[in-house]
Amino acid sequence: MSETLSPDPVPLPPTWWQRRAEPLAAGAVFVLTVVLTVLSFPPFHTPEFACAFAIPGAFWAYTRPRLKVFAWTMFAAQAVTWTILLGWLHHVTWGGLFLLGPFVGAWVGVWYLAAWWTLPRMVGRPTLVRLAAMLGLAGAWVLIEWSRTWLLGGFPWLPLAASQWERMAVLQIAALTGAGGVSFVLIALNLGFAAYAHRLFREGLTGLNKRSQEFFLALFLVLASFSYFVQETFSRARYAVPLARVAFVQPDIPQDVKWDAAKAPEIFGALEKTTLAAIASRPEIVLWPEAVTPFPARDNLSMKAFVESLAKRVQAPLVLGSIVVENQAKPDERWFNGALLVVPGEGVQANYYAKRQLVPFGEFVPLRPILGWLAKFVPIGPDDFARGLDSSPLIVPLRDATTVVGPLICYEDTYPALARASVRAGADALVVVTNNGWFGRGGAAYQHAAHAVLRAVETRRPVLRCGNAGWSGWIDEYGAVRKELVDAHGSIYFRGTDTVAVTRDSRWIGQRSFFVEHGDWFVLVCAVLGVGAFLLFAPRPAATGTDGRTV
C-alpha cells in the first residue's frame, strides 16, 4: 500500500503590512523623531521628551534597516527638526534658514549612522560588551556636540543639555564635566530605553533574561546625577550672601531704528526714561544690552557725555554694550563689539571688553576673499568687526566693595570655553549683554537663555543677562532662574526696568568648579569610549598560519 504524500503548502503572499513595512517604519520614525526632538527644546516646556527623542531611531537601527533608507530618513528628520528649531532665523534671512537648518541637521545626524552601525552588533553579545558600546555611542554624541563649538567657525546652538535648562536636578554634573556630561546621560537613557524595548519585543527572551543591563546602567547614571544635585544644593539658602542690587534695563529698541542716525533722539529718550526709572530702587549696578547706543559710547563725544550723565544721575556704575573704535580715522582703524563700564564721577573707563567670538555673516564674512560678495546681503558693511583676544573682566565699584564681572556679548554664552576663561580671569559673576532684536519675538530668546543656565552651572558663577527686549534676568550658580523680567501680561518682550537683589553662594566665592579648572577633560573620556566601542565591533583581518592556511 503506497503512502499518499500531501503537496507542499503554497506560500501565502505577503500581507499589505508586510509589503509596506519598511516605508511605514521610516514614516513613523521620521514623525516621532521630529516631534519629540522639537518638543524637547525651548520655547516648549517639555524637557522630559529629551529622554525619548532618540528612541525611535535607535530602536529602528536594532532591526537592521537598509542603510540607504535609514540614512535618508534620519537626515530628513534632522533637517526638518533643525529648520523648525531655528525658524526664528527667517526674520533675518529665509535663505540662511533653509541652508543652516539642514546643515546642522546633517551634522547632528551623523550620530544616527553610528547607531545604525553599532546597535545591531550589540544583540546577543556579552553584557560588558553591550554596555561599552552604549557608552561609546553616548560619547560619540558628546564629541559631535563638542565639534560644533569650533568646526567651520562653530555653531554650538542648542546642545542636548540645553533642553534641561528648567530642570536643575540633572544639570549639576555640568560643574564637573561641562554640559557634555548632561548630554551624555540623556543619550544613555535614550539608548537604555531602546535596548529594553528591543529585548522585550524582538529578542524572544523570557524570565529574567528580559532585563536590559543597558537600561539599568542608564538609570544608574540618572540617579548619580540626582544624588549630586542633592549634595550640591542641599541647604544652599544658608550660604547666600549679597552681591549687588542690579537694575536690568530693557529699552526695546526696534532693529530698524537701532542704526538710523535720524532716530538717535528717540533712542536717547528710551534709554534715559528706562534708566532713570530705576533710581527709586537704588541699584548698585545698572545693565544695558548689547550695542545699545546709536554711536560709540567711548569715541563719540556727545554719546560719551550722555552715558556719563546718566550714570551720575543714577549714582551707580553702568555696564553697557557699545561699538568701540580703535585708531579712529587712521588707516588701521578697527571696530569692536564691546562692553564698557561707566563709573559716576569718573566717566567711561579706559579698559573695556571686546567680543571674542564673532557671528559669521553678522559681524564678519568668513573667507572674505572668496565669499566677500555676500557682504551685499548681510548687514555688516564693507569691513569686518575686529575680534577681541582676551577675557578682560571689568572691575565694578560698589558702595561698600568692588566686584569683578566677566562680560559675554550676544551668543558668546553658547561657548563654554569663553565663560570658563572669564572665570579663570577672576570674574565673580558673568554678565551677558545681548540684542535678540534680529530674531523676532518667538523662541530664539528662550533658546538663547538656556545656554546661560548651562554656563552658570559649569562655572558656579551667577549669570546676569540683559537683553534689548528679553530674555533678561538672574541665574544663580546652580542654574536656577531666580529672576525673569516680565511685564504685567507675563511677556518677556517689553520696555522697562527692574532691580534685583542678587546674591552669591559663599561656598563658591574664590573657588573654581572642576570644569573651570580642568576644561574639556570629559570630551577626551568620550573620545576614548567612542574609539573603544568601534574597536569592539570593527572587523578583524583573518590570521594565517605558517602553512598559509587561514586560522
Query: How many residues does the structure list for the chain?
Result: 551
With a CB cutoff of 8 Å and minimum separation 6, the contacts of 76 are 30
Buried b (16+ CB within 10 A) or exposed e, 168-195: bebbbbbbbbbbbbbbbbbbbbbbbbbb
Q: Which residues are registered as beta bridge partners of 241? A: 504
Q: Which residues are registered as beta bridge partners of 120? A: none
Rounded to 10 deg, the angle between the 127-147 and 94-122 helix axes is 160
Instruction: Say what the alpha-carbon torsion angle 231, 510, 476, 291 is, to the nearest 10 degrees.
Output: -150
Distance, C-alpha 421 to centroid of its chain: 17
Q: What is the largest CA-CA distance in the chain?
A: 122
Residue pair 502/462 in contact (Cβ under 8 Å)? The answer is: yes
Residue type, 447: Q
Residue-wise pLDDT tens for the chain (551 aa)?
Answer: 455 555 666 676 666 666 678 899 999 999 999 999 999 999 999 999 999 999 999 999 999 999 999 999 999 999 999 999 999 988 888 888 999 999 999 999 999 999 999 999 999 899 999 999 999 999 999 999 999 999 877 899 999 999 999 999 999 999 999 999 999 999 999 999 999 999 988 887 666 667 889 999 999 999 999 999 998 888 888 999 999 999 999 999 987 787 778 889 999 999 999 999 999 999 999 999 999 999 999 999 999 999 999 999 999 999 999 999 998 878 889 999 999 999 999 999 999 999 999 887 666 555 555 554 445 445 544 467 899 999 989 999 998 899 999 999 998 999 999 999 999 999 999 999 999 877 888 889 999 999 999 999 999 999 999 999 989 999 999 999 999 999 999 999 999 999 999 999 999 999 999 999 999 999 999 999 999 999 988 776 655 555 555 44
Q: What is the C-alpha separation between 425 and 59, in angstroms, rounded?
A: 46
Q: What is the C-alpha separation between 493 and 437, in angstroms, rounded?
A: 10
| Local structure of residue 3 (DSSP, 8 states) | P
CA atoms within 13 A on the CB side of 499: 18
Q: What is the C-alpha separation between 42 and 39, in angstroms, rounded?
A: 8
| Local structure of residue 524 (DSSP, 8 states) | H
* 460 torsion bin: left (phi>0), alpha (psi -120 to 50), beta (else): left
Name the strands in the sheet holding 473-475, side by side, starting at the edge strand that comes first in the sequence.
394-397, 402-409, 429-434, 463-467, 473-475, 481-484
What's this model's pTM, rounded to 2 decimal places?
0.92
3-state DSSP percent of the chain in helix, strand and coil, to 5: 50, 15, 35
